[in-house]
A and B are shown apart, each in its own frame.
Chain A
């Protein structure tokens, strides 16, 4: 048979309700009740006192990107372009060059992420064969006055540290 149909009784047709003012007064009583209770003690309010109180960012949170480094500080990235290929927003722009630190053969000379175009989907992290790009900085809000500063460069991406420990990050499913 068809879906269950529940007929809701329409309210507002009794005399007291149709008088209107009584119902208004009832509503106001509820509103002012909340107001005075919260004025006395606001600890039970369901809002966060942002920005004084920052949210807790879990390790799995996809925040602003960073490029990871080897222990000696050289970039793990070998400019394979997997992230750029996979990026649905086409916000990653890489230029590759000959590696100079002896780690592999290839490294990025330029690595730009346009944060205004990024949709924070995390496909770049997923595509990376070397765990060189992560979104674990915990930075969830990027603000500035001009467009240019939203174009992240190689130095900026390498300089930002991760917000959580390696174990926590791994636990997050990476």
Chain B
């Protein structure tokens, strides 16, 4: 824990963390200082002047909170008359040339200008001269649409491109009320994190072309989750909504702050991976393209499993730990060969040194933790003799050429337990639909060995079982969530001190505790 210091806010004593600026320090105890340009990931810029606060008996008596470190005994004034006047005046300045097109602006509802207007301004415009008009609906590339009139020139987007992605595509040109954010001619935003400027923008100047006009934000329900786009496991907020007469649909992913995993940001690819949760899903059970009820297929599968002599069970590296341990128990009971072979999920050289990883699966570290074999040799040898492949969502067509896969699956029955209607599902003799990651709760271990758990975010109209329940129905000894968690606790000692559902939100770093466990 960091050192604590005591200071006064509006004459009331509060205890805050030392070494932070006033916005962060006082914000952590629930007192908000309005600010537009400051963002903890981008540092203080001090250009918006919205965070000016008074320091009683201080020199100078008026300071920008973003650039001022919290000090012992400081007497911060937030609701003094002269501070209120400053906030009010700054808001009036910001709104002089604002087009107030909130009805068509996607930011409406999560817009700092709207919030601060209601909290600090609440007055009509006094301007009588025509507003300065600027460019609207400019395509900045990478799915970012810019509206220069709505912009308050806080420079967060400019600083993001300079400091975080280090690509520097954006700049502020001209001066005073003619200042505008722009790209260099012919050089649009071209980095894999570009859509973060949409989140960063405190107003509606940066909007996403993908989300454009899809939903008003106040309709969206928010649920925390973990992105399954790559092995980084970025924390996300799933914004979803069930419209009248329709299904629960995800409209966007937004990064959720987690200091030890992804910070404040996420990559564009992961952000847009929400589409895979909505589309291309398998929703009905079937045997070679004839729809059947799930129970029928489950009964038929159970028979196949009893009849089969050599079973291979393939497991997706995207499965949660709970699912893996349940399938592993099933495999042990049946005496089957369990494999997590999934070379095709790794895109060599695709990752970078920031967030994006080569490995496009969410829980490969979990496979290693549970000591599930994922070598090509084991898989191929086992498939030679096998007469039944029970595939839990492992998209083998990524790892094998189609012809090679057909040769491997030749004279093998395939039961695919799958969330998506993929090429492999089409090749399967029987297909059982299951929930995808936004629809179940579980935990995954990321590439830095941090275990993170996530809850069920989406409830579809047809609420499918997840893999662990299907595995339990197929005869796995681990029938209940409590049994699964207990089995995990035996393997991962770090979980021992936690109850299920009580794993800390910031994740559990297994690096320290697991070292002893692995060697033992």
Contact = CB atoms under 8 A, between A and B. Distances in A.
A116 interface: no
Contact of A80 (B103, B136, B212, B219): B103
A90 B101 CA distance: 25
B216 A85 contact: yes
Interface in B186-241: 212-214, 216, 218-219
Contacts of A93: 243-244
B interface, by DSSP: helix, strand, loop or mixed?
loop
A129 B213 contact: no
Nearest to B102: A80
B371 interface: no
B137 interface: yes
Contacts of B213: 79, 96-98, 106
B104 interface: yes
A28 interface: no
B424 to A, nearest CB: 35
A130 B100 CA distance: 13
A85 B214 CA distance: 15
Interface size class of B (residues with CB under 8 A): 10 to 19
B103 A78 contact: yes
A80 B109 CA distance: 11
A82 B103 contact: yes
Interface string A78-89: 111110010000
A98 B101 CA distance: 15
Contacts of A96: 213-214
Interface residues of A, number: 16
A35 interface: no
Interface string A13-47: 00000000000000000000000000000000000
Contacts of B102: 80
Given A93-B243, A105-B137, A81 B101 contact: no
A104 interface: yes
Chain A CB within 10 A, most for which of B101, B103, B136? B103
B244 A80 contact: no
Contacts of B104: 78-80, 104-106
Contacts of A79: 104, 213
A13 B219 CA distance: 69
Interface in B328-364: none
Contacts of B137: 105
B420 to A, nearest CB: 26
B103 A85 contact: no
Contacts of A82: 103
Contacts of B103: 78, 80, 82, 106, 129-130
Interface in A57-80: 78-80
Interface in A90-141: 90, 93, 96-98, 104-106, 129-130
A81 B216 contact: yes
B136 A105 contact: yes
Interface string B89-108: 00000000000011110001
Contacts of A98: 212-213
Q: Which 7 pairs from chain A and chain B are nearest by CB?
A: A80-B103, A106-B104, A96-B213, A81-B216, A105-B104, A78-B104, A78-B103
Given A81-B219, A90-B244, A97-B213, 9 more contacts: A79-B104, A80-B216, A93-B243, A93-B244, A98-B213, A104-B101, A104-B104, A105-B101, A106-B104
13 contacts: A78-B103, A79-B104, A80-B103, A80-B104, A93-B244, A96-B214, A98-B212, A104-B101, A105-B101, A105-B136, A105-B137, A106-B103, A106-B104
